[in-house]
Amino acid sequence: MHLLESYSRRQLDPAESRALQESPFRHPIPRKLYWTPSLIVTNNPEIQAGIQCENMPQEPQETAGPILVIEDNWHDLVLMTHVLDDLDLKGRVIAVHDGAAALERIIDVENGRIQKPTGIIVDLGLPDIPGEQVIAEIRRQTSLQDTPVVIFSDAPLDKCEALVEKYGLQGCRQKPADFAEFQKCFAELLLRWINDGGEKSKSVESVA
């Protein structure tokens, strides 16, 4: 049985649910509806069809897919949200917080239910499924075989480089310990794909 067919989803506790709604990331939480002042996100087509959107905005439609971030560390996610604010990239990045949620997202992309990501940033130290297994599943999917994937992790550099070579990834970056350097490094990863798409955006220097 493949990993995609065998995982079990972890339920969010109330504190996590509140944090998801308050974050500038777009959070793909299937079968539940979360909304912020700027977007609505649900992967369930029955819910989507039944939503009365008179007073609630639709999720923006974009020609380029979002950037998918697979990251479980809430401290690191807080630093990442500051980068999104500084670069005016709210709504352009989707974050999933464990391997199970990442695999569910992968299934939805492969089945054509959601938009293919422009690029994927993966942390190796996920709490439920090793990051390498998630990367392997990404590369197994026909729709994602050519999608750029980079590792952003505090794992040893030699391990990250070995995975880059093994799975044909587009690179790896170690997470800096310094807050400012962490945010600058994350901004560089985001802008690699945003700018390649020909969009106007702020520079890395604008990150506080």
pLDDT of residue 47: 43
> pLDDT 10s per residue in the chain (208 long)?
444 444 444 455 566 555 555 555 554 433 333 333 323 333 444 444 443 333 333 444 445 789 999 999 999 999 999 999 888 887 889 999 999 999 999 999 999 999 999 999 999 999 999 999 999 999 999 999 999 999 999 999 999 999 999 999 999 999 999 999 999 999 999 988 776 544 444 555 545 5
pLDDT of residue 207: 54
As a whole number of angstroms, the distance between CA 165 and CA 62 comes to 32
pLDDT of residue 136: 97
As a whole number of angstroms, the distance between CA 157 and CA 154 comes to 8
As a whole number of angstroms, the distance between CA 173 and CA 192 comes to 13
pLDDT of residue 168: 95
As a whole number of angstroms, the distance between CA 13 and CA 102 comes to 18
Largest CA distance in the chain: 53
3-state secondary structure 100-138: HHHHHHHHHHHCCCCCCCCEEEECCCCCCCCHHHHHHHH
As a whole number of angstroms, the distance between CA 43 and CA 108 comes to 8
Whether the model pTM is above 0.75: no
Q: Name the token pair of 155.
A: 């794992």
- Domains of the chain (ranges; CATH) run 3-9+62-206 (3.40.50.2300)
As a whole number of angstroms, the distance between CA 39 and CA 27 comes to 10
pLDDT of residue 196: 54
